[in-house]
Structure 1
Amino acid sequence: MSVPLPGSFTYHAIDADGVTIHCAVGGDGPPVLLLHGYPQTHLIWHHVAPVLAARHTVVLADLRGYGDSAKPAPGAGQPEYAKRAMARDQLLVMRALGFDRFGVAGHDRGGRVGHRLALDAPGAVSALAVLDIVPTRHAFEHAGKEFGLGYFHWFFLAAGNGIPEHLIGADPEFWITARMNARHHGGTPFDPAAVAEYVRCFSDPAAVAASCAGYRAAAGVDLEHDEADAGRLIAAPLLALWGEHSFVGRSYDVLDVWRGYASDVRGRALPGDHYLPEERPELVAAALGEFFAGRR
């Protein structure tokens, strides 16, 4: 089937120190890296990327374990799916494409990878945009009943003994569409071609195992890395966007939280729920275009 990206974007398979990362590149100008979240692929940006490509070189990458990127078998402790490892993949991808300094925008898991990338390679990240998240460490430290009910998948996917892998693997299409439809509030409908691609990619048992490993890492090794960096602020300017109807929008003072993790924070709520690049693409593209304008 055809994917909903214009032909001006070209696809690449880039070796990031032994891990093949699948990405699309288009446009011209200062580089911007776009990172997706769970359970999608780079195609979550299919409305936004062509708009940004009018003034930027846009790189849309599948995170390791997702889409058509490599899916290393998870080991004990899930170090293969630590955000540090995933961030390094993307740094190597951008270097391979000739970019030593670039902007980053990440939704959901991709925002957490971007957060770690900005901490681990501050000289590479000129600006960071995070969509509908607060930092992982803050979320776990302030988790209660509402978090457990609203974000139950954090705990379900981190469960052991193969439980989430088995249950999701029995009907991945139901799991994906149920999660996405439950977190959509008006706006642009999901593109059926993009959803079909999410289902295709997530029907691979290795993708399910990798994504579960990523959530286990978030509750384990990622927290260890975050604790080691407690009090250290992101140096790059940070834009936070969130859905006014999302759990994040309802539960946190998003800008105040991020000011505990970054030195230069701005942002706002958008009318929508969690999947803002698909639900409110015109607003996301405008906000990112303004934020990244002139940054090198």
Structure 2
Amino acid sequence: MLLHGYPQTSFMWRHVVPRLVEAGRSVVLADLRGYGASGPAHAGPVADPATYAKREMASDVAALLDTLGHDTVDLVGHDRGGRVAHRLALDHPERVRSLAVLDIVPTLHMFEHVDRSMAEAYFHWFLLTRPGGLPEALISASPETWLRSRFTGRDAGTPVPTAAVDVYLDAFLQPGVVDATCADYRAAATVDLDHDRTDREVGRRVTAPVLALWGDAGYVGRNFDVEEVWRRYAGEVTGRGLATDHYLAEEAPTEVVEALLAFWAGAR
């Protein structure tokens, strides 16, 4: 099960899926609530952040697995999808055989380790949480400028091609998507943190084996001991850096697939 990040859709896995199928894997793709073909889950001009809580998105994934008849899954998430995958592994541990997270450390850890470099590199985490429609208005004034800026200068491996960014832009321009994606980030700074803090208080951790992959040139790889951080949130963690920036599955798909297959072989 592959879950995408911001501001992408499941199209980001286009180079990964054929390689997994060739290796004999069955693959399920999904666009997260508010993104791509799934579209917004709210009505009206203002999106309630609680509607886009990672708990709600994880429930979407669990319901999809029910519909498709899959009791358990090897779960892979990049960026926002990694945060949804983390929540699914906590809320529905019986469904997750293994968890692979691409270029993230847990949301709670990020917010508890804010410094100037984090605030500059992840400024959108704070911009998109602002209330009153400000980020929606700013982004809607030039959504193409905003979306393309998310990819500029973040291609230490194979660059994300313009044609792929065009696909993401088409999805981003659909009605309600800007509002929904801002609400996704507001949820991360509010209700998601409440859920994460509760988990920490009661000692709830990921029980499935975890693979953490990160880009050596990206903020996460440069600023965290990623394996060590994830060991605070999960029992069994392995990890490695790749010669990429943030978009691992597009910058280095072969290496990502090789790491996943090796992880799954060892996690049995």
- What secondary structure does 1:100 align onto? coil
Gaps of 5+ in 2: none
Which residue number in structure 2 is paired with residue 259 of structure 1? 231
Which residue number in structure 1 is paired with residue 51 of structure 2? 80
In 2, Cα distance between equivalents of 1:190 and 1:157: 23
Which residue number in structure 2 is paired with residue 268 of structure 1? 240
* Alpha-carbon contact 2:128-2:135 (below 8 Å) kept: yes
Quote how far apart the aligned CAs of 1:295 are.
6.0
CA shift in 2, pair 1:264/1:289, >3 Å: same
Quote how far apart the aligned CAs of 1:66 are.
0.2
Q: How does 1:80-229 map to 2 (within 5 A)?
A: 80-185=51-156, 187-229=157-199
* Alpha-carbon contact 2:47-2:180 (below 8 Å) kept: no
In 2, Cα distance between equivalents of 1:57 and 1:295: 17
In 1, Cα distance between equivalents of 2:183 and 2:37: 17
Quote how far apart the aligned CAs of 1:46 are.
0.5
Which residue number in structure 1 is paired with residue 210 of structure 2? 238
Quote how far apart the aligned CAs of 1:182 are.
2.9
In 1, Cα distance between equivalents of 2:47 and 2:77: 27
More strand, by proportion: 1
Greater relative contact order (Cα < 8 A, sep 6+): 2
Residues 231-267 of structure 1: per-residue CA shift (max 9 Å, x gap): 3210000000000010001111101100000000001
Quote how far apart the aligned CAs of 1:196 are.
1.3
Quote how far apart the aligned CAs of 1:77 are.
4.9
Which residue number in structure 1 is paired with residue 16 of structure 2? 48
Give the superposed CA RMSD: 1.5
- Given residue 33 of structure 2, which amino acid in structure 1 is its aligned partner? R
- Given residue 209 of structure 1, which amino acid in structure 2 is its aligned partner? D
Gaps of 5+ in 1: 1-32
In 2, Cα distance between equivalents of 1:132 and 1:295: 20
Quote how far apart the aligned CAs of 1:129 are.
0.1
Residues 24-58 of structure 1: per-residue CA shift (max 9 Å, x gap): xxxxxxxxx00000000001111011111121110
- Greater displacement, 129-138 / 48-57: 48-57
- What secondary structure does 1:159 align onto? coil
Quote how far apart the aligned CAs of 1:204 are.
2.0
* Alpha-carbon contact 2:128-2:186 (below 8 Å) kept: yes
Residues 4-29 of structure 1: per-residue CA shift (max 9 Å, x gap): xxxxxxxxxxxxxxxxxxxxxxxxxx
Q: 2:27 aligns with which of 32, 39, 58?
A: 58
In 1, Cα distance between equivalents of 2:41 and 2:136: 15
* Alpha-carbon contact 1:87-1:116 (below 8 Å) kept: yes
Quote how far apart the aligned CAs of 1:212 are.
0.2
- Given residue 120 of structure 2, which amino acid in structure 1 is its aligned partner? L
Total equivalences in the alignment: 263
In 2, Cα distance between equivalents of 1:191 and 1:61: 22
Structure 1 residue ranges, 4+ long, deviating more than 6 angstroms after superposition: none
- What secondary structure does 2:40 align onto? coil
More helix, by proportion: 2
* Alpha-carbon contact 1:38-1:108 (below 8 Å) kept: yes
Percent identity of paired positions between Structure 1 and Structure 2: 54
* Alpha-carbon contact 1:44-1:277 (below 8 Å) kept: yes
* Alpha-carbon contact 2:93-2:206 (below 8 Å) kept: yes
* Alpha-carbon contact 2:47-2:179 (below 8 Å) kept: no
TM-score (norm 2): 0.94
CA shift in 2, pair 1:193/1:293, >3 Å: farther
* Alpha-carbon contact 2:209-2:267 (below 8 Å) kept: no
Quote how far apart the aligned CAs of 1:76 are.
7.0
